[in-house]
Structures are given as C-alpha cells and as structure tokens.
C-alpha cells in the first residue's frame, strides 16, 4: 500500500486542490472548494491593479522559461488605442518529456484554468481566449470542454458576465502532435492553421501575435494560479519560496522513484526532500541514485551529489548550470542505462525539429547519431570531442530555443558521464 | 463514419498530383456539415484557415483513421485555401496518417520516463500480438498498427500507450497483452483506459464519439 502523502501544503494553501482527482472535478465541486468566489469583484476592479499585483507576486511563468507574468502582461497595449482585438492564448501543448502536470489539471481541476482564463482575459482586455491543447489530450480536452460549457451555463462566460459588463468567450483548439508548437510563436502559427514553425522575434506577440493582434501566451498552470493570487493577500503567495521564486508549483516526479506523482509543493523545496517526501524516495534508496533531470528533458542533469544539495527553484537550479524548466523531475537510479536514456532524448529532438533553421535541422540529427554511436561504445575519443564542439555550434544559432534545449541535455551528459562514454569506447577497443 | 475504400487511385496518393486532376471528389455529409460549422464558428470571420487542423481531424475520422488526398482537398475547399496549404500541415503533424492504419492504432511512448519504467516490455508485447517488427507497421489482418511515439504527457503513470483517444497507463508486458487481446475480441476500451469519462467533443462541442 502506498503511504499517505505528507501534507506539506495545507489544502487552503494549494491552487490545485483536486490535482489527484480525489474529489468532484465539476463546477459544483470547484465551487465547494471556493472556486468562482469573488469573481465578480475581480471583474469590477481596475485591471491595471491586477497587473500590479501580479508583478508584486513575482509569479514566473510555469511553462519553462520562467518569465515574470506580471511584466509580460504589462506589455499588452490598450485595445482602445490599437483598434485591434487582444487575445489571451493558453499554452496547453504540454510535450516536454517528463512533464505531465497540465494533463492532470485538465482532467481533474479544469475550472481552475477556466476561471484563470476569465480573469486573464479581463485583465488583458481580451474578449476571446483560446486554449491550445495538444491533440493527444482528446479525452482531457473533452473534460475541459464540459467545464467550459458549465461555466457558460452558470453565467461565468459569455456576454455580460455576472452583470459586470465584461464579455469573455473561450474556445478549445486541439493541436495534432508537434512538440515545437509549445514554443509560443509556433503555437500561434499552428493556431492560424499553418505548420508550427516559430516566428522570428521581434515583433513579440504582445505587439503582433495571433492574426497580427496583441496576444499574450501563458502556460496552463500559470493562468490557473492567477485567480487565487489576486483573491488572496499577497502573503498567501509569497509565504512560499525564496524572493523572486515565490509560490507553489506542480512537480512531476517520474522515473526510478517508488511512487511517481504530480504534486503541488512549495517552491524552493530541496530536491532530495521533494523526492523523499512525495515520491517515497528513489528505488533502492538515495544511495542508489545515479542522476536527476530536474526540469524536463531540456534541462541538463544533476549528479547525485548535486541532487542532494540543490533547491528547486529558478535561481537554485541556475546555480548548478541547469534550470527549473517545467519542474518535471526525472529520476534515474543505478539500474538505468543513463546513456541510453539520453540518446533516446536526442532522438526525440531529432524527430521534433521543425526544420526551419539549418543548424537545428541538420545538427540535431548529427548529435543524435554521435550519441547513439558513443553510447553503444562504437564511437571514438575524437568523436567525443566532436560532440562537445558540435553542441556549442548549434546552441544559440537558431531563431527559437528548441535547439538550445536539444543541446543542453547532451552537454549535461558529457559533464556528468564523460568517464562512462570513455569506458564504453575502451571496452569496445579491447574486444576488437 | 463512412469508410473510404482503398482503391488503386487512392493508393497512388501523394504523388504530386492534386485530387482535382485525379478527379476525386469527397464531400461532408449532413451530420458532418453541422460539425464543420461549429468548428468554423470558433474563429473570426476571414480566419477560416485556423480550422485546418480540427477539420483534418474530422476528415481523418471520416476516412477510417487516415487522410487520402481527396480528404485533404475537402478540407482545403472548406477553408478556402489551396490544396498545398493543407497538405503541408497534414505532413507536419504526427497525428495525421497519410497511409491507412489498422483498426487499433497502438501508439507506445518510448521516451525517457517510459523507457526507465519498462517501455521495452510494452513494445515487445505489442509487436508479439500484432505480429509486426517495426514502428509504423500494420498487422496482416489489419487489426493493429504499432507506432513508437514521443512523450504523451503521462510520465508519472509510465509506461503508457495511447489507442484511439484513450490512454492506457501503468503498463507491464502482461497487462499490455491483456488489453490488446481484450480490444481484439471487441471489448470496451474503458475497462482498462486511464481517461476521463468524455461527454462533449472538444473539436465541435457536439456528442463525443469513439475515435480511431
Ligand atoms: S515519457 Fe512516456 S509519457 Fe512522458
């Protein structure tokens, strides 16, 4: 029997009170948990005040890049001046290997997102919001659509919401299987019915986004966190996490742990505590740990020593040359062939490159080939050096961050497991 | 759902000829027209092209799980774009099948978390039952198509696979075999699926249907 989760966060401290699906997902259940309470007040408060409070909360985007949400929102022009509609687009194209938090929000607590979209649209003076969900989440989107329908029926969506004069419509848009569409400008292209190839920035979406109109794109978790941040006292949010890293966060803990889980925990929690408290520890105990990928496949791995010390927030992970990313913690113990896993991740990037920039289209494939040879012990010492150099030639030479994200894990592997690569090269030579 | 027969003409799809020159002509039936209308209603006037992906999905369902050229032409006509604009989208996204697939399209995630938790066993079970040896292959009797896919976002329930719209999680080699045999015998996928009870269809907000 799995042990009971240690409740570090009390229920009322959580944004996602039904993340594990133990309770009713529907409008009735969400309202019982306090949802939609105070919505009317928020829709009649000056929207500039909301942006100010978001800035004070120091909420940083939960989709990977960690950009301050309040600041992003402040870039949006006033539609009265632009004469164009503004849009809020929710990025639910969750595809970063290891990441699966949005799926549980959509199927177990979809109203957190719906309420966030309503308040978000109001704050950005957008009358229409799109939720771009990865196409594979078909059943999950169905659940989300039901939640939206419920909200319409209850008068939380549509024209003149709760008599406030605010109009908001939300539409679900399904993707069709392309990791790159998680990149915000590729997502917009895809939403416009095109191939998902990132746009050159600037112009940024706040100036020229969906259909050439001012647009803000935020991750599911980020948008869902907005209502409770605005409704509660600032301290409710800032009591967790270090300055500039405040709040709570969903961590997806997968791989070699006793109980893989999606869990909302305070930011800045030590990685070791996170794994031992919520995921019931590494299989075979902490001593059996080999490496941890801390924030989804794009973030460089940590070795066991580092994993025992690091704090799980944006700045804490940066100190170790990696990042919080999507906070998808992938644990690998001694039973795992780390080089095989990392080669598989390189294969993923090869498959998902959109093909627009040459260094990425060609280079990511080369990197995969080298990774494969080296991890099978077929490579040479020269190739090992070549691989390192190659990653540096690709990183930073493309129009979006995809290629960087494809190179970082390889660089991380070379840093932590260079001796293992060498051992395999030698072993092969001996056989020959 | 109307099943489009795989005629020799359809088999020589994607050879550079547009369906118009091939003389093909597929149309939406009445029920589909209503769905198309509600898909288009999500986007502003003049932005019909936004409906390309959802309409390709409808078209794929209509054709039994894949996109023959005339299905793409139908979508192109519906959104007022040239055929090539739709074709390039259909080839860009992995969920569109440009070749027929089996009755059950079994998509196994072999990415990091699933690999660590034993996707090798899942892959083996699927290959054994379907009698195929590589990704993309369809069993002789047309029951199963096996495809290796990238992370499907259920990593804490790894290893996993998707069949139709449903996720099957916490798999083992044995459990995978049980599921496939169950489906082959016409069993209800929901017996094993780890999926919300779907009621309204996210594409067009009408009734939910089972998908290939
Ligand atoms: S790695 Fe298989 S679902 Fe994410």
Residues within 8 A of B (CB atoms), A 16-35 only: 25
Residues with Cβ within 8 Å of residue A228, at least 6 apart in sequence: A15, A236, A237
Q: What is the pLDDT of residues A193-241, one digit of tens each?
A: 999 999 999 999 999 999 999 999 999 999 999 999 999 999 999 999 9
Residues with Cβ within 8 Å of residue A161, at least 6 apart in sequence: A39, A43, A118, A155, A167, A168
Spacing, Cα A254 to ligand 1 middle (Å): 9
Interchain CB distance below 8 Å, B115 and A260: no
CA dihedral A406, A412, A418, A424 (to 10 degrees): -50
Q: CA A94, B97, A143: angle at the middle one, nearest 5? A: 40
Average pLDDT over all residues of chain A:
95
Residue A12 has pLDDT above 50, yes or no: yes
Strand positions, DSSP E, A153-267: 169-174, 215-219, 248-255, 261-266
List phi, psi (to 5°) of B87: -60, -45
Interface test with B, best of A142, A148, A292 (most B CBs within 10 A): A142
Query: Min CA distance, B11 vs chain A (Å)?
Result: 23
Predicted model pTM: 0.94
ipTM of the complex: 0.94
Residue positions counted in chain A: 432
Omega within 30 of 0 (cis) for the link into B159: yes
How confident is the model at residue B199, as a pLDDT? 82
Query: Is the CA virtual torsion A308, A311, A316, A317 positive or negative?
Result: positive
How confident is the model at residue B209, as a pLDDT? 75
How confident is the model at residue A193, as a pLDDT? 97
Q: Which of A195, A196, A332 sits opposite B116 (nearest CB)?
A: A332
- Residues in chain A with CB shorter than 8 Å from the CB of B49 are 192-194
Interface test with B, best of A193, A296, A406 (most B CBs within 10 A): A193
How confident is the model at residue B210, as a pLDDT? 72
Q: Quick one: angle between helices A47-57 and A110-123, nearest 10? A: 120
Q: Which residue stretches of chain B have pLDDT < 70?
A: 1-19, 21, 211-212
Average pLDDT over residues A316-342: 96
Q: What is the pLDDT of residues A415-429, one digit of tens each?
A: 999 999 999 999 887
Q: What is the pLDDT of residues A41-55, one digit of tens each?
A: 999 999 999 999 999
Identify the band that residue A6 occupies on the pLDDT scale cut at 50, 70 and 90.
low
Give A100 or B209, the one with higher predicted confidence: A100
Omega within 30 of 0 (cis) for the link into A203: yes
Give B5's DSSP letter. P
Q: What is the pLDDT of residues B144-189, one digit of tens each?
A: 999 999 999 999 999 999 999 999 999 999 999 999 999 999 999 9
B111 touches chain A (CB under 8 A): yes
Residue positions counted in chain B: 212
Residues within 8 A of B (CB atoms), A 363-392 only: none
Of A194, A223, A206, the C-alpha closest to A113 is: A223
Look at strands B104-109 and B161-163 and give their pairing.
antiparallel
Residues with CB under 6 A from ligand 1: A 97; B 109, 111-114, 151-155, 158, 160
């Amino acid at each position: 029997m799995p042990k009971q989760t240690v409740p570090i966060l009390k229920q009322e401290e959580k944004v996602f009170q039904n993340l594990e699906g133990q309770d009713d997902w529907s409008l009735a259940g969400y309202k019982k948990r306090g949802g939609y309470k105070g919505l009317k007040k928020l829709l009649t408060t000056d929207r500039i005040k909301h942006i100010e409070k978001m800035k004070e909360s120091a909420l940083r985007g939960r989709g990977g890049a960690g950009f301050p949400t309040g600041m992003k929102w402040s870039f949006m022009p006033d539609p009265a001046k632009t004469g164009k509609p503004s849009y809020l687009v929710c990025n639910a194209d969750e595809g970063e290997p290891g990441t699966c938090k949005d799926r549980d929000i959509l199927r177990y607590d979809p109203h957190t997102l719906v309420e966030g979209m309503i308040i978000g649209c109001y704050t950005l003076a957008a009358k229409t919001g799109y939720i771009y969900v990865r196409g594979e989440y078909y059943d999950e989107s169905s659940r989300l659509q039901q939640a939206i329908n419920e909200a319409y029926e209850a008068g939380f969506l549509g024209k003149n919401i709760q008599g406030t004069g605010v109009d908001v419509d939300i539409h679900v848009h399904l993707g069709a299987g392309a990791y790159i569409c998680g990149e915000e400008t590729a997502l917009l292209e895809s939403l416009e019915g095109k191939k998902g190839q990132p746009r050159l920035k600037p112009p940024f979406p706040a100036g020229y986004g969906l259909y050439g109109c001012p647009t803000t794109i935020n991750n599911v978790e980020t948008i869902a966190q907005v209502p409770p941040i605005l409704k509660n006292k600032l301290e409710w949010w800032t009591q967790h996490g270090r300055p500039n890293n405040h709040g709570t966060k969903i961590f997806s803990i997968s791989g070699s742990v006793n109980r893989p889980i999606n869990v909302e925990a305070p930011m800045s929690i030590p990685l070791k505590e996170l794994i031992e408290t919520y995921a019931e520890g590494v299989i075979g105990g902490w001593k059996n740990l080999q490496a941890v990928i801390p924030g989804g496949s794009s973030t460089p791995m940590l070795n066991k020593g580092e994993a025992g010390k690091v704090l799980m927030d944006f700045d804490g992970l940066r100190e170790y040359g990696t990042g919080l990313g999507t906070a998808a913690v992938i644990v690998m113990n001694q039973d795992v062939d780390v080089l095989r896993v990392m080669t598989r991740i390189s294969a993923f990037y090869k498959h998902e490159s959109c093909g627009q920039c040459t260094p990425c289209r060609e280079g990511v494939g080369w990197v995969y080939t080298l990774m494969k040879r080296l991890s099978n012990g077929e490579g040479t010492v020269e190739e090992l050096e070549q691989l390192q150099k190659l990653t540096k030639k690709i990183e930073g030479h493309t129009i979006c961050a995809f290629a960087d994200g494809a190179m970082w894990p390889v660089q991380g592997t070379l840093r932590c497991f260079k001796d293992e690569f060498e051992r395999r090269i030698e072993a092969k030579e001996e056989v020959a | 759902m109307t099943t489009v027969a795989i005629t020799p003409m359809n088999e020589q799809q994607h050879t550079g000829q547009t369906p118009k020159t091939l003389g093909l002509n597929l149309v939406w039936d009445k029920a589909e027209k209503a769905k198309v209308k509600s898909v288009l209603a999500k986007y502003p006037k003049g932005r019909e092209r936004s409906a390309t992906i959802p309409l390709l999905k409808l078209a794929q369902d209509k054709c039994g799980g894949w996109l023959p050229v005339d299905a793409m032409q139908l979508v192109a006509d519906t959104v007022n774009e040239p055929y090539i604009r739709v074709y390039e989208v259909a080839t860009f996204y992995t969920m569109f099948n440009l070749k027929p697939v089996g009755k059950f399209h079994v998509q196994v995630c072999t990415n990091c978390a699933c690999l660590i938790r034993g996707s090798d066993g899942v892959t083996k079970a699927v290959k054994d039952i379907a009698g195929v040896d590589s990704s993309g292959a369809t069993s002789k009797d047309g029951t199963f198509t096996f495809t290796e896919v990238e992370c499907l976002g259920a990593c804490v329930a790894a290893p996993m696979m998707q069949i139709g719209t449903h996720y099957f999680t916490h798999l083992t080699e044995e459990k995978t075999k049980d599921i496939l045999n169950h489906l082959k015998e016409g069993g209800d996928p929901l017996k094993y699926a780890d999926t919300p009870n779907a009621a309204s269809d996210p594409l067009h907000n009408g009734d939910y249907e089972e998908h290939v």
